[in-house]
Amino acid sequence: MFLYLQILVKAIPASSKETHAQNPLSTITGKIMRAEFAVADDKLPDGGLLISGETIQMDSVSLNFASNSNGDKFVIGLPYNNETKVYKLVSDETCETDQLGCQSWVQFGNAIQGSENFGLHVTMNDMGNRVAVGTFNEDDIGAVRVYQINSSDCGINGDGCWEQIGDKITSGSKVAMDSSGLQLSILDGDSGTTRIYGQSTDCTDGQSLCWMQIAQDIPGLPNPYEVYGNILALGKDGTTVAIGNPGPGEVSIYGYQQCSTGTFCWAAIGEKITGSQFAGRFGSAVAFNEASDRIIIGAPFHDVDELVNAGMAEIYELVADNCSSGAGQCWKQVGQTITGGLPYDKLGYSVALNRNGDVAAIGSPYADNGDIKNVGKLQIFELTDADSSWKLKAEKLYDMFDVDEDTKESYFLGLNEIGDTIVTSGLGYPGRVTRFRLYPCKDSPRRFILNGKSRKCSWVRQIEDNITKRCSKKGVSSHCPVSCGECNTYACNDSEKKFTLWNGNTKSCKWVRRVPSKVDIRCGKAGVTETCRETCEFCLNV
């Protein structure tokens, strides 16, 4: 069920620094979507992160990236070309569902051109029809411009062109957008000041739409060298903002509320959240869930015991009890600290939460794969009901078949509302964007033949010390990908082992697909679809 709220506000001019005696949201127009979601009983499956749709390659280095709430549109900043582009996912006409290999990215609208460093920071609303683009070094402070796709028959594919909404906002270059695209938070790194703006019709320059500051400045510490990273997050409804300051390692969270009789302002929600290591760069990446009552924070330079710069991420929840400071609300950590596994992984450079705040996507862009340096790793975690810990559901460690060395994949990422689709971008040349979906991964329920003996996947994991040895035997990992930890490879691939049917006959996946007219019948036999996953299109029908 969706609940739409019409906001009636009175905006104050961007130059004003004082609060107003009435709600300063009185002529900011439009509908901000606030959703009441039914929490699904089903948890994410253990699965493999498999590419859904082609990987698209840019003709320049990408230095910022954002995706919409469905994961089917993204905006990418290409400041070396002084431009920003938006892409959408389209399906092949022969595809009936969101199938592997049946989708591709096409440019959505025209390329948005600008001046020097245009596209250094970008953000997108939930629908993917509005973007904000930050420019560095413009007017000595940076500037942000907002664009909306029009309905005219223009653009590279005839689906509209991007038109600027209002004048530029000269207030900094780092920018975050709410779900509707009607409110923005902008951070000026030189002064550390954050300001929130709303779209208004109460314009003084004759324009029909303009951007007005909402309430007072939020002061902070200067942060001029934080060129990359997502250290600014604006809640879905535009009433909560998180500001990371990796220098001292802290995150401040503010809410828009009535501060005194008839006066509205941005007030701190709880105390600052601080990292445990001064040099850990806690606050380099921040992201909210739908309700803005959970936040994930990355500290990519955090040392884990002897693992230098392994990185870490922590998730916090807003609570109203057991607050040591005596305040009415405070932020308490949810689950364990998630840490990088190797030196210089720098886990936590990019982070995201799904709408419920129980699925987290975390990037380690400097992770190595053997001798291949800085290729990157993407991990998906889910909060368990039993012990409130974060369980690794799937991960993708890039290799030489995916990317070149030093491309730093998953430097930026976006997670859809459910938490099963992730769109990522790297920091290397050429810039590339990849969309992953989490596909269910299951061990085959059929017995397999090994050295003349019939075995089950439960035998593989029966003795923990023997799992690696047993999984190394030919074909075992393909038959038992969950037990062997090989979901990323075999979640949607056929088993390479011979297996026994319910009647005792020994068969293989080659037998299943040998006669095309009989594939459906053979896949319908108990346990065959989960065994011959590619032949029986297991992943395409979930």
Contact partners, residue 171, CB within 8 Å, separation at least 6? 14, 141, 142, 143, 144, 186, 188, 193, 195, 197
Beta bridge partners of 67: 74
Please compute Rg for the chain using Cα positions.
25
Whole-number pLDDT of residue 38: 25
Contacts of 319 (CB under 8 A, 6+ apart): 329, 330, 331, 332
pLDDT at 45: 59
**pLDDT for residue 47:** 64
pTM above 0.85, yes or no: no
What CA–CA distance (Å, rounded) separates 326 from 346? 35
Note the pLDDT of residue 5.
24
CB 28 within 8 A of CB 214: yes
Is residue 467 helix, strand or coil? Answer: helix
Residue-range domains of the chain with CATH: 2-440 (2.130.10.10), 448-541 (no CATH)
pLDDT along the chain (542 residues), means of 10: 25 35 37 25 58 70 80 89 90 59 83 88 94 81 91 76 93 91 90 92 85 93 61 93 92 92 89 93 95 97 96 96 76 96 95 95 93 90 88 81 72 89 81 82 93 94 94 96 87 93 94 95 94 87 56
Residues in the chain: 542
Q: Are 489 and 476 a contacting pair, CB within 8 Å?
A: no
Half-sphere exposure of 43 (CA within 13 A, CB side): 16
Q: According to the model, what pLDDT value does residue 50 have?
A: 67
What's the pLDDT at 225?
55
Long-range contacts of 363-368 (CB under 8 A, 24+ apart): 363/409, 363/410, 363/411, 363/412, 363/413, 363/424, 364/311, 364/340, 364/410, 365/408, 365/409, 365/410, 365/411, 365/426, 365/427, 366/300, 366/309, 366/408, 367/340, 367/342, 367/397, 368/342, 368/344
Query: How much is the pLDDT for 63?
Result: 67
- pLDDT for position 94: 60
Check residue 479 and give its pLDDT. 97
Other beta carbons less than 10 A from residue 33's beta carbon: 17
Contact between 526 and 500 (Cβ < 8 Å): no
Query: Tokens standing for 184?
Result: 């923005």
